Amino acid sequence: MAFSDIEYRQLKPEPKLAEFVESFWMLINHAAVEQRVVLVPDGRIDVFFSCSATEPYHVTLLGLENQPDAQAIPPKTTMFAISWKLLAAEYILPVRVADLLHSACYLPLDYLGITSEELHNFDAFCAKVSTQITQLIPAKLDNRKQKLFNLLYASNGTLTVEAYADAAAWSSRQINRYFTHQFGLSLKAYCNILRFRAALPQLKGGRLFPDQHFADQAHFIREIKKYTGVIPKELVRNKDDRFIQFSALPKK
């Protein structure tokens, strides 16, 4: 991937939004040709506001990914995005995310009050959607879910389902029922994605044995191949960085 043609910027949300929003980010493909990539799971739910030389303005909600996905970033693309944490699926997002496992749907063109004319000022975009999201946050949240998700992200999914259940004072059976209904996968499956996400930067840096609590080397290789389609050694040899998580793109 020709990163010299890609402009990328990321901003963290205000503290009051931190339980719902992972980040706001901008990606612009300045090239007159498409950029082919393999998107790999990162445990986020994304909303994209985008337009390009070949596509009109559109708003897309991408559910959780649980496998690699070959994609092309169209030529002359401008993309502003919100990466959501899981709590947003129940309280903020207008579509049931469980129906979008490894798939996407279109949202209304005026979602969160954004129009195509606003894809020219990233800071103004972040300020506007922050205000809109703040107004959607309910006054009362389920404390069990807050505890569960905070611990999930802090631990990169490395604890057992029972440990998360104990910390949240919520039974593992109820948690798995909730996860399947809201997100389309189990808590354990989501933990595996978070653990892979934490291991990927180390892998791409050349470390073939990241310390992310994999059972053994064979298990580690299986998990990496499951989420990237290739074994760790091939991923390390990936000189053009075609395997990406949008959140981990290099910044100019």
Of the spans 2-16, 65-79, 226-240, which averages the highest pLDDT?
65-79
* CA–CA separation, 66 and 49 (whole Å): 22
Same domain, 156 and 230: yes
Mean pLDDT of 229-250: 67
Q: Residue 248: is its pLDDT beyond 70?
A: no
pLDDT at 190 over 90: yes
C-alpha distances in Å from residue 21, one per residue of 148, 162, 218? 16, 26, 34
* 156/218 same-domain check: yes
Q: Name the band, by pLDDT with cuts 50, 70 and 90, for residue 252.
A: very low
- Are residues 40 and 153 located together in one domain of the fold? no
- For residues 92 and 36, the model is more confident at 92
Q: Which domain holds residue 195?
A: 144-239
Same domain, 73 and 47: yes
135: domain CATH number is 2.60.40
Quick check: 208 and 235 in contact, CB under 8 A?
A: no
Total structural domains within the chain? 2
pLDDT band at 219 (very low <50, low <70, confident <90, very high): confident
Confidence at residue 231, expressed as pLDDT on a 0 to 100 scale: 80
51-107 tens-digit pLDDT:
999 999 999 999 999 998 888 899 999 999 999 999 999 999 999 999 999 999 999
Q: Which has more confidence, 250 or 192?
A: 192
Distance between CA atoms of 58 and 60, rounded to whole angstroms? 7
Instruction: Give the per-residue pLDDT at 140.
Output: 94
Q: Is the pLDDT of residue 4 over 70?
A: no
Question: How far lies 13's CA from each of 1, 42, 187, in Å?
Answer: 28, 18, 25
39 touches 241 (CB < 8 A): no
Q: Beta strands 243-244 and 35-39: pairing type? A: parallel
Same domain, 174 and 124: no
Three-state SS for 138? Answer: coil
Report how far apart, in Å, the C-alpha atoms of 229 and of each of 161, 189, 218, 222, 223 are: 26, 17, 15, 10, 10
Same domain, residue pair 152 and 83: no
Q: Which helix (H) or strand (E) holds 172?
A: helix 172-183
CA distances from residue 140 to 126, 136, 137, 178, 229 in whole angstroms, order as listed: 25, 12, 9, 18, 42
User: Is 121 found in the same domain as 23?
Assistant: yes
Same domain, 26 and 132: yes
Q: Do 125 and 156 share a domain, yes or no?
A: no
CATH assignment of the domain containing 174? 1.10.10.60
pLDDT in tens, 105-160: 999 999 999 999 999 999 999 999 999 999 999 999 999 999 999 999 999 999 99
Q: What is the pLDDT of residue 224?
A: 84
Whether 240 shows a pLDDT value over 50: the answer reads no
124 in the same domain as 162: no
Among 126, 128, 46, smallest CA distance to 88 is for: 46
The answer on 227 and 172 residing in a single domain is yes
pLDDT classification of 221: cutoffs 50, 70, 90:
confident
CA–CA separation, 45 vs 244, rounded Å? Answer: 15
How confident is the model at residue 245, as a pLDDT? 66
Q: What is the band of 1 on the pLDDT scale with cuts at 50, 70, 90?
A: very low
Residues 79 and 41 in one domain: yes
According to DSSP, residue 54 is labeled: S
